[in-house]
Amino acid sequence: MNWIEQVTILDLLLKGLIIGIVVSAPLGPVGVLCIQRTLNKGRWFGFVTGVGAALSDICYALITGYGMSFMDELILKHHIFLQVVGIMLLAFGIYTFRSNPVKSLRPSSGTRGTYLHNFVTAFFVTLSNPLIIFLFIGLFARFSFVMPGSPIGFQLVGYLAIILGALGWWFSITYFVNKVRSRFNLRGIWVLNRIIGVVVMIAAVVGIVLAIAGKSFS
């Protein structure tokens, strides 16, 4: 493997990690569920909830990547157009900022259940939201993540990075919530979600400016 290939793989790993984090970070129903379980059942119950969500996300990522792989010619000839598709990220960031995840709170179960039960329920909660595909389309276009003609092994590295990014996020958020559990309240969930929304909006605006300038993150 030459130096250029190494740099390309490192670049792909970084993009995958960012995509995995961005997809996981907004505190939708499964994010709130993860925090609830961390506070009520313990950190590892919250983490396996995140693992279930991450597995569901990667299923949608594979579907998105497979579908976009049939758009090789469009990706090659209209690269800037696909970069501008990243405007969906801006809309997503605004939606995240304006949403109130506290409304997703449900009365907690009196029993902890097994790790498997917590994993499976989170998987299906996330799987029930196919709109995540549109977020993946925007992210894949923004980061030029789908590479026409790239080897299968090269693509697997990218998807593995997405999983690692998602798991890294869930590991970090459960660690943080567990550490501040005595001071973490409903307002904390609302503030955290707003911060995430602002970060996504900033990244989207930077991406749109770069696209207009004929540049990209790639």
CA dist., res. 120 & res. 128, Å (int) = 12
Q: Taking each helix axis from N to C terminus, what angle separates 152-179 and 43-68, rounded to the nearest 10 degrees?
A: 150
pLDDT score at 115: 92
**CA atoms of 69 and 95, how far apart (whole Å):** 28
Tokens 């670049």 correspond to what residue?
Answer: 11
At residue 138, what is the residue type?
A: G
Residues of the chain with pLDDT under 50: 1-5, 7
Contacts for 127 with CB less than 8 Å, ≥ 6 apart: 56, 59
Q: Please, are residues 93 and 201 in contact by the beta-carbon 8 Å criterion?
A: yes
- Longest Cα–Cα distance in the chain: 56
The CA distance from 171 to 161, in Å, is 15
Q: What's the pLDDT tens digit per position in 60-95?
A: 999 988 877 666 555 555 555 555 566 777 777 787
| CA dist., res. 147 & res. 75, Å (int) | 8
φ, ψ (nearest 5 deg) of residue 49: -60, -45
Alpha-carbon Rg for the chain in angstroms: 18
pLDDT in tens, 177-201: 888 877 777 677 778 778 888 887 8
Amino acid at 194: R
Where do runs of H (alpha helix) occur along the chain? 3-24, 29-40, 43-68, 72-77, 79-84, 87-98, 115-127, 132-142, 152-179, 186-212
**How much is the pLDDT for 5?**
47
